Amino acid sequence: LWNLYNGRHAPGEHVRVFPLSNWTELDVWQYIAREGIELPQIYFAHEREVFQRAGMWLTAGEWGGPKDGESVEKR
């Protein structure tokens, strides 16, 4: 690993290290399982009010939908 790291930097420069940059998704899930990390509930799908527009499901809300003629359903 350290032969990939270029330790030369000028005064005032910042050094950034990304230790997970070469992890695969499987590596991440195996780490989560091994360490017993609990996933937050927001990660999982849950029902919400949505409407369909231009082939997409959008969340109903004050910001822009649904418009007249667009029906809201819980999915």
Q: Does residue 2 surpass a pLDDT of 80?
A: no
Structure confidence at residue 60 (pLDDT): 86
Q: What is the pTM of this model?
A: 0.45
Give tens-digit pLDDT for 13-67: 887 777 888 899 999 999 999 999 999 988 888 888 999 999 999 998 888 889 9
Residue 64: the pLDDT is 80
Q: Is residue 5 scored above 80 in pLDDT? A: no
Closest CA to 74 of 39, 43, 54, 45: 45
Residues recorded for the chain: 75
Residue 9's pLDDT is 81
Query: Which residues lie below 8 Å from residue 72, measured CB to CB, with a gap of 6+?
Result: 49, 50, 51, 60, 66
